[in-house]
Amino acid sequence: MAIALRTFLLSIFIVGLAACSKPPTPYSWNLPHNVPPPQVPNDNPMTEEGVALGKKLFFDTALSVNESIACSSCHLPEHAFADPRTVSIGASGEALTRNALALVNVAYNASFTWAHNNLDSIEKQILIPLFNEHPVEMGVTGNESLILSRLNTPAYRESFKAAYGDSSPNMNNVVRALASYVRSLVSFNSSFDKYAYAGDDYALTPQQIRGLNLFFSERTECFHCHGGVNFTQSSKHSSQSFADQPFHNTGMYNTDGMGSYPKSDMGLYSITHNKADMGKFRAPTLRNIALTAPYMHDGSIETLEDVVAFYARGGNKRDKINPYRSPFIKGFRLTESEQAALIAFLHGLTDDKFIDTHKVHKKE
């Protein structure tokens, strides 16, 4: 009886400890009334503690094999979490093949990276920079134990415990936390938002309004690929029953006169091996686009003026138009003042509050 009583009392004590454990705090999105919240996977709910842990990990070089880079090394807050270099450089010093996409509003993406139709969650995408070997990015593969040992500190153990109820760092929770932080990077407070959704008729200048009308006209066709609340056709959210995943060939290359792109990056074709997907890439969000130069998948266009000129001439025609070029890329003519107005409108998509807030966070 004494043994049974002790066992019973011990079980009550253990249950009591579990009950005293503070559950994670549901995350508050603080979105404008017109913006639906993003979809969140059931196995990684958004919590304040998960986001806080992910933020610490995002800026920590301990996640790279030689502690030379962090996630933030290629996704800089002051550049809307993009990389001002043509292409990023991995932990081993190897150049990557693509320009790093801005992470702003990736919670609303229907697909991830520039050209992959099977990456449908941030959690899946994060595995690439962490574990990729050709080329090496963070260099985690084969070094998991080393990296986790660096995270086995009192501060990190407390953060992991608060977020996931387990103080022992593991790669699954590292990925979940990083995904939560990246998912929290939402930006809907630009001058355009104040004009279009908050009723501030003076948030955009007359020149920017002229550019807005050009952007949403059949003349330039910009909105066909960069439409919707996130200024990209490839998006999803909680009020949308299906995820649209369009990819487009902009006619940037035509190496053999028959539509081929350079072997170093053939876009979606590299995943599907369908010739019709040659040179197709996802249209990224244009939010904060003025801060994310250089542009295009290979960082080959340096300025917004050059981007507009590229689309105005219908891609890089050279001797022959790429047969896989999107029908939306047909070229257009603008006067100098119209071009200036269009670019001024694109600057109106910058969310200064978002940038300033996260620049402060970087210094914490």
Q: What share of the chain is helix, strand, coil (3-state, %, to 5)?
A: 40, 5, 55
pLDDT at 33 (0 to 100): 85
Q: CA Rg, the chain, in Å?
A: 23
Which strand (E) or helix (H) includes residue 39?
A: none
| pLDDT higher than threshold 90 for residue 279 | yes
- Does residue 121 lie in a domain region? yes
pLDDT at 246 (0 to 100): 86
- In terms of domains, do 201 and 306 share one? yes
| pLDDT higher than threshold 60 for residue 4 | no
- Does residue 30 lie in a domain region? no
| pLDDT higher than threshold 90 for residue 184 | yes
Amino acid present at 299: G
Predicted TM-score (pTM) of the model is: 0.91
- In terms of domains, do 257 and 150 share one? no
Tokens of 309: 């000129």
Nearest one of 108, 100, 185, 230 to 361, comparing CA atoms:
185
- Does residue 5 lie in a domain region? no
- In terms of domains, do 68 and 132 share one? yes
- In terms of domains, do 56 and 163 share one? yes
pLDDT at 17 (0 to 100): 41
Least confident residue range of 9-23, 61-75, 81-95, 257-271 = 9-23
- Does residue 94 lie in a domain region? yes
Question: How many structural domains is the chain composed of?
Answer: 2
Domain that holds residue 194: 188-237+244-364
- Does residue 12 lie in a domain region? no
Nearest one of 222, 218, 232 to 311, comparing CA atoms:
222
Give me the CATH number covering residue 328: 1.10.760.10
- In terms of domains, do 98 and 200 share one? no
- Does residue 3 lie in a domain region? no
Residue 284 in contact with residue 290, Cβ under 8 Å?
Answer: no
Residue 76 in contact with residue 88, Cβ under 8 Å?
Answer: no
- In terms of domains, do 178 and 226 share one? no
| pLDDT higher than threshold 70 for residue 226 | yes
**Which residue, 168, 186, 204, sits at the end of a domain?**
186
User: To 10 degrees, the CA torsion angle through 96, 282, 75, 155?
Assistant: -100
- In terms of domains, do 206 and 348 share one? yes
- In terms of domains, do 108 and 65 share one? yes
Tokens of 23: 């559950």
In degrees and rounded to multiples of 5, residue 360 shows phi and psi of: -65, -45
Cα 358 to Cα 51: distance, rounded to the nearest angstrom: 13
- Does residue 275 lie in a domain region? yes
- In terms of domains, do 136 and 210 share one? no
pLDDT tens per residue across span 85-125? 999 999 999 999 999 999 999 999 999 999 999 998 999 99
Cα 340 to Cα 360: distance, rounded to the nearest angstrom: 32
- Does residue 10 lie in a domain region? no
